[in-house]
Amino acid sequence: MHILFYFPTNQRSVSLETWMEEFSHRGLKVWLSGRGEKGDIHDTVETHGVKTETHSPPTGLHLSLTYLWCIVQLRKFIRNHNIDLIYSHTQPVNFVSVFTQFLVRARFIICRRHSDYIMKCNNAKAKRFDRIINKPGKEFIVPSKKVFHQITEIEGVDPAKVRRINYACDFEAYPKPDENRDPEIQKYDPAQLRLCTVSRFIPCKRYDKVIDCVGQLAGSGFDLCLPILGNGPLEEKLKAQVHNLGLEQHIHFIGFTTEVINSMAASDMIVHFFDSEGSNSVIKEAGLIKKLVAICQDVGDFDEDIEPDRNGFVQSKDRSRPDFTKVVEKVYARSADYKAMGEALREHVMKHFSFGHVIYEYNKVL
C-alpha cells in the first residue's frame, strides 16, 4: 500500500511523524507532501524511510487559482506515485483534498484537528471552508469527543463517517528532560513559582488573560515568573501589554524554541488558558515529564483526560482569573505536595496516547 500524508507546513508534528514512521517501518510506502520549502518535519521522517516532496504555487495567482493549481498538483502526485490512501491534515489542504477525491481512485481520509475555534472566530472564509469540506468528505478522523461533537452535532456531518482516534506519540523517542539545557530559560532569575505556557499567539490562546492573572498575582506579592514559548500575529500586542503593566521582570517572551521539553522541565506548572482545542499536545508532553498542569474546562480532550485535583488543576473558562489565583495559592509554597498529580497525569498519558495503545485503531482504518 502507498500512503500519502498531506500536510501544509514544514513545522514538526510529533503525533503525525509517529504514524508516518510506524507505517514506513511496517514496509508500507509512505510519502509526506505539502506546500513551501522542506523543513524539520521532512528531515525527521526521511531518516525513517519516508519519502518527501513539496511544491509551491506560482506567485501572483488569485486565491481561487492557487487552490485549483494545488488540486492539479495533488492529482498528479497521486497518479505518479500510485497512492492508495491519503491522510489529509488541517483545513487548507482538506479543502484541496475533497475536490481532488473526485479526480482519482485513491481513498481520502480528512483529519479534522480543530473543534469550535472556526465557529467562534470572525473569519467568514474559514467557516465557509469547513462547510465545503464537511459536505463531500467521505471519511473523517477526529482526535477527541469535543471535535466529534462539534463536527456531528453542531455542523451536521453524518456520525457514521467520523472515526475518533487519539493523537499518539512514540514517547520513548523523546529526549530525556534536562532543565539546565535551555539557555533562554536560564537567563532569568529563578522565582519561587515558575510557570510556563506554550503556543502560538492567536486569540483563542487567551494570553492576554494569562498576563493579567500574572500581573494581579505579582501585585499581590507572589514571587513568580512566566516564560512564554511561541510566536504569532499577536506578539507585539502582548509584549505591549506586558510593558504597560510593568511585568518585564515576571513575564519573558522566549519565542520559538526546540527546547520545549527542557523549558517545561525547568518550570513548576504548565498554564493553559486556551478557549478552544482539538487535542493539545503540550499538556501530554507535560504529563510525560510529570509536571503539574492548569487547564480550562470544555476545551479539546481535557474533560476526558484531566480529573480535577487528581492529575491536574481545572478552571472555568469564564472564571479563569479567580480559579487560577486559587490554584497558585495552593501550589505556591507547597508545590512538592502535589507531585503525585504529575505522576498520575503521566500514567494517564502513557495509557491513552502512546502509539502502542492506539495502533489498533489505525489498523482498523487500514
Q: Is 186 a residue whose pLDDT tops 70?
A: no
Instruction: Please check whether residues 139 and 52 belong to one and the same domain.
Output: yes
Torsion, CA 247, CA 249, CA 254, CA 255, rounded to 10: 30
Distance (Å, whole) CA 322 – CA 336? 23
Say if residue 116 is in the same domain as residue 182.
Answer: no
Q: Do 124 and 232 reside in the same domain of the chain?
A: no
122-159: buried (b, 16+ CB within 10 Å) or exposed (e) per residue? eeeeeeebbeebbeebebbbbbbebbbebbbeebebee
Separation of first and last alpha carbons in the chain: 9
Sign of CA dihedral 96, 101, 102, 106: positive
Angle at 146 between CA 290 and CA 234, to 5 degrees: 75
Sheet containing 269-271: which strands, arranged edge to edge? Answer: 251-255, 224-229, 193-198, 269-271, 292-296, 313-315
Same domain for 99 and 202, yes or no, is: no
Is a pLDDT exceeding 70 seen at residue 183? no
DSSP at 2: E
Looking at the fold, whether 40 and 127 belong to one and the same domain comes out as: yes
Q: Which residues contact 60 (CB under 8 A, 6 or more apart)?
A: none
Q: Are residues 205 and 168 in the same domain?
A: no
Instruction: Average the pLDDT over 75-94 and give the result.
Output: 96
Q: Is 121 exposed, middle or buried (0-12, 13-18, 19+ CB in 10 A)?
A: middle
pLDDT tens digits for 132-167? 999 999 999 999 999 999 999 999 999 999 999 999
Does residue 182 carry a pLDDT above 60?
Answer: no
Over residues 240-246, mean pLDDT: 95
Q: Is 364 helix (H, G, I), strand (E, B) or coil?
A: helix
Q: Alpha-carbon distance 149 to 170, whole Å?
A: 27
In this structure, the answer to whether residues 293 and 228 fall within a common structural domain is yes
What single string gives the DSSP state of each residue in 28-54? -EEEEEEESS--HHHHHHHTTT-EEEE
Q: In this predicted model, what pLDDT tens digit does every residue of 23-63 receive, in sequence order? A: 999 999 999 999 888 999 999 999 999 999 999 999 889 99
Q: How far apart are CA 243 and CA 227, in angstroms?
A: 15
- Residues 71, 98, single domain; the answer is yes
Better-predicted residue by pLDDT, 118 or 189: 118
Q: What pLDDT is recorded for position 266?
A: 86
- pLDDT of 12: 82
Q: What's the chain's Rg over C-alpha atoms?
A: 21
Spatial CB neighbours of 250, under 8 Å, sequence gap ≥ 6? 191, 214, 215, 218, 224, 225, 226
The domain of 221 spans 174-353
184 lies in the same domain as 99: no
Q: How many domains does the chain have?
A: 2
Give the SS3 label for residue 19. helix
Q: What is the pLDDT of residue 261?
A: 87
321 by Cβ neighbours in 10 Å (0-12 / 13-18 / 19+) ranks as: middle
101-110, 280-289, 293-302, 354-363: the lowest-pLDDT one: 354-363
SS3 assignment, position 156: coil
Give SS3 for 318: coil
Q: Do 191 and 88 belong together in one domain?
A: no
Q: Would you state the cell numbers that stand for residue 160, as one nine-digit string?
A: 457514521
Q: Are residues 190 and 157 in the same domain?
A: no
Q: Give dist(CA 290, CA 151) in Å, integer.
A: 32
| 342 and 285 belong to one structural domain | yes
The grid cell for 110 is 480528512
**What pLDDT is stored for residue 225 in this prediction?**
92
Q: How far apart are CA 298 and CA 301, in angstroms?
A: 8
CATH number of the domain that 83 lies in? 3.40.50.2000
Contact assessment for residue 196 and residue 271, using Cβ atoms and an 8 Å cutoff = yes
* Mean confidence (pLDDT) of the chain: 91
